[in-house]
Structure 1
Amino acid sequence: MSLNQLNAISPIDGRYRNKAADLAPFFSEEALIKYRVRVEIEYFIALCEIPLPQLSKFDNSKFDDLRKIYTVFGTAEAQAIKEIESITNHDVKAVEYFIKKQFDTLGLQDYKEFIHFGLTSQDINNTAIPLSLKEAVNEIYVPQYMQVLEKLEQLSKDWDAVPMLARTHGQPASPTRLGKEIAVFVTRLKEQFNLLNDIPSAAKFGGATGNYNAHKIAYPKIDWRNFGQQFVQEKLGLYHSFPTTQIEHYDHMAALFDTLKRINTIIIDLDRDFWTYVSMDYFKQKIKEGEVGSSAMPHKVNPIDFENSEGNLGMANAIFEHLSAKLPVSRLQRDLTDSTVLRNIGVPLAHTVIAFQSTLKGLDKLLLNQDKFEQDLENNWAVVAEAIQTILRREGYPNPYEALKGLTRTNTKITRQSIADFIDTLDVSTAIKTELKAITPSNYTGI
């Protein structure tokens, strides 16, 4: 049975394949193999550039041919490596054998024992995987994050002047502005994104236990630590972790996942707020011809995009949580638990980008219901009590809070007129009464 969107077990590769497909070149099995080949080839080239004595006569014009081994790498090549792996039962060793065959084809047999020279499999995995993660974040995650952020920034500007009844503890509270409430999310997202940018994409490279044992015993006069640092940082564009055990300690990767999780949590908060605003009739939703909101209730247009986003972000965060908690923990110099876990790092990113697209779709559907905003403000004149008592405090009026409490905590509806009547009973100047009467739920919105 060939895999397709109908028989895939995971919805990422099934129902949502079209939304997450851009991540496949970074996190699929084929992608992982390709990144491993890339690191192995670049490592061999770096050895030639030292050069090691046995590689001093290597024809550097062949570097382009070597790089083509991974730049033109496709499914056929990945399948060839998987067939080798079926015999070796070792995925990285299969990559080494595949590259050796390519060296034979290129007439470079004399140099093929310097493929994977002095390395352990984790020198390849712990560079290939951080590299794929870094490039996926930069090329797929960041652009989609920016789309959501830019949409929110635009809505914040568009609706900056829209007064809105606030609700604290679900109850009417001092009015605010719709644009400002969206700006809160913009600021939160930007601050977390700044933290994200500060996290290094760290990689381990240093032999079987991180000490360059094999390298040093073979070529004791070469500064292998400096070589490893230059290779990781200058050739691969990653941060070189040193010292390490056999594996990367994943502390920076855990920090990345924790920050991605916090960004997702902010989006969940956003999704729930807009879902609530829709339920309050603050927004109508654009109707697409042919769409069905409910199988039984023809009138319904459900806020399903915000719900889809929230669900996918919850899935993403559950996996991010496990990744950041598990990966930094390894028995002694290494155990194998990180290996299977690392194969899942694309899963939460996939759920995240699916969610971003859903949030964006939901935001694009919103139609401002200005009348409902105004109606809610007009129906809640009690919220100006804070403003009145604050001015009375300024004027030294006795017990203003208690006076307003007595007015507003009754079962009688508070209206513009009842507020005006109350102001008329106050023993204050006409100027102060005029100032107080000018306050309305729509203009008492702060800065």
Structure 2
Amino acid sequence: MPSTTPTPVTDRVILADANPPIALGALDGRYRRAVAPLVDHLSEAALNRERLHVEVEWLIHLTDQQVVPGAARLSENEKGYLRAIVSDFGAAGVAELAEIERQTVHDVKAVEYFIKRRIAAAPGFLGEETVLPSVSELVHFACTSEDINNLSYALMVQGAVRQVWLPAAEALVEQIAAMAREHADVPMLSRTHGQPATPTTVGKELAVLAHRLRRQTRRVAAAEYLGKLNGATGTYGAHLAAVPGADWPAVSQSFVEHLGLTWNPLTTQIESHDWQAELYADVARFNRILHNLATDVWTYISLGFFTQIPVPGATGSSTMPHKVNPIRFENAEANLEISNALLDTLAATLVTSRMQRDLTDSSTQRNIGTAFGHSLLAIDNVARGLTALAVSEPTLLEDLDHNWEVLGEAIQSAMRAAGVAGVPGMENPYERLKELTRGHRVTGPEMREFVGTLGLPADVTARLQAMTPATYTGIASTLVERYL
């Protein structure tokens, strides 16, 4: 019997050897344009830059505050030289740091040695009288790696959220809000359980989503970013052994707050990461609401309520030339789901650590950028998708005109009010409208004729007979204006 095992292909180019390297993931390949701003905040290189920043600022803080007896004070030129280690950190620095790490096999120790190299070279730039070499051993003074890492991650995430993700999210919310205001008066048939229900307006439904999303962006904007610097198990043991006369909690607090973070006074070796879990839950909730918007808009497109403006030269299907597919919203759905899977895992994993320390958080946190990247990509897709939409008012009006039975709610409610006011013959209003409308199509003339037989006061009869599905929208447009 012939073998069914496929013959392995051996004559292909090895893509892993290509130069420049080919991206493994979609964010660094196909979708690089949309997520590139996050590289400055959440990449491995950005992590090392923040480590350099924290180490340099800790050295400057110790000397400024004269915490360690005998440490020389630094001049402004010397502080500037140290801070330039951070601001000048680019491709060459990344490569050099990687070379040091190959020797140390420890990422934070490599950062320490990188800075010490620069301090050793300082006399060649600042003159032989510089005091920097004398304070070289204050680099990473009394610190465990997690003292540096927790502060670096807090600064990275803070920068990514405040400078990249949140502005994009807020701009999208304002785009949705602007659409809501533009279409506040455009009537649309609602559907509950997929069935025709009380009419609303396009703008009011968009306003609901904008209002929900805006609430989440406010929560994200108010997030706290916590940090600690208290040694190997959070006891300031090494600090006190080296300098017993210092108020180390006060020094730690002033330093963490100098970085723009909130001080966490009680930790194990690691900062507890609870703030990260809280933040990621809020971002994930924003994602889920945005996913709801994407699925709703997709459905409205399929119903013909929204039409898509074709992009010149674009192809919707390889075989069906008429198609304009809602790909922006489908792409957004997929990326929001991937983002949330990561955010949920981050939030669940980071709040737990075995006793005083394990390394699960170290590996997990390296996926923060991917989680935010997929969310940012989804935001970009929804924004671009909404820009290419137009409301089809004729389709909306036709849909409303085919569903006069939805006025049954208004009529039976008016009958109830009239009955309470003492008008005779208003018994069983719900049941009478149910018999007329449930499972039946009712035309406009039939509905007006039915209203005329109910014995309602003349002004109520006239008001109900003038009503159409397109005018039965309550104060939907006012709600948009008042509350959005």
1:27 to 39, 42, 49: 42
**Partner SS for 1:92:** helix
Partner of 1:404: 433
Gaps in structure 1 of 5+ consecutive residues? none
Distance verdict in 2 for CA 1:4–1:271, change over 3 Å: farther
Partner of 1:9: 24
Partner of 1:250: 273
Greater Cα shift, 54-63 or 353-362? 54-63
Partner of 1:425: 453
Partner of 1:161: 185
Q: Distance in 1 between matches of 2:53 and 2:356?
A: 26
Partner of 2:337: 314
Question: Does the 8 Å contact 2:273/2:350 carry over to 1?
Answer: yes
2:327 to 304, 314, 318: 304
Partner of 2:98: 82
Gaps in structure 2 of 5+ consecutive residues? 1-16, 124-131, 420-425, 476-484
Question: Does the 8 Å contact 2:166/2:221 carry over to 1?
Answer: no
1:285 to 300, 308, 320: 308
Deviations for 1:351-383, whole angstroms, at most 9, x for unmatched residues?
011000000011000011110010011100000
**Partner SS for 2:70:** helix
Partner of 2:239: 215
Partner of 1:140: 164
Instruction: Indicate yes or no: 2:82 matched with 1:53.
Output: no
Distance verdict in 2 for CA 1:113–1:261, change over 3 Å: same
**Partner SS for 1:167:** strand
Q: Distance in 1 between matches of 2:142 and 2:155?
A: 21
Equivalent residue letter for 1:75:
A
Deviations for 1:148-187, whole angstroms, at most 9, x for unmatched residues?
1111111011000001100000000000111010110111
What TM-score, normalized to structure 1? 0.97
Distance verdict in 2 for CA 1:400–1:317, change over 3 Å: same
Greater Cα shift, 73-82 or 34-43? 73-82
Partner of 2:54: 39
After the TM superposition, which residues 190-269 of structure 1 pair with which residues of structure 2 at under 5 Å, given as runs?
Answer: 190-234=214-258, 236-269=259-292
**Partner SS for 1:195:** helix
Distance verdict in 2 for CA 1:117–1:268, change over 3 Å: same
**Partner SS for 2:188:** strand
Instruction: Indicate yes or no: 2:348 matched with 1:325.
Output: yes
Distance verdict in 2 for CA 1:375–1:134, change over 3 Å: same
Q: Distance in 2 between matches of 1:123 and 1:395?
A: 72
1:56 Cα offset (Å): 3.2
**Aligned length, in residue pairs:** 444
Aligned-pair identity in percent equals 42
Question: Does the 8 Å contact 1:381/1:415 carry over to 2?
Answer: yes
1:57 Cα offset (Å): 4.5
Partner of 1:184: 208
Partner of 1:350: 373
Greater Cα shift, 52-61 or 224-233? 52-61
Distance verdict in 2 for CA 1:57–1:15, change over 3 Å: closer
Equivalent residue letter for 1:324:
A
Question: Does the 8 Å contact 1:283/1:367 carry over to 2?
Answer: yes
Question: Does the 8 Å contact 2:116/2:136 carry over to 1?
Answer: yes
1:194 Cα offset (Å): 2.0
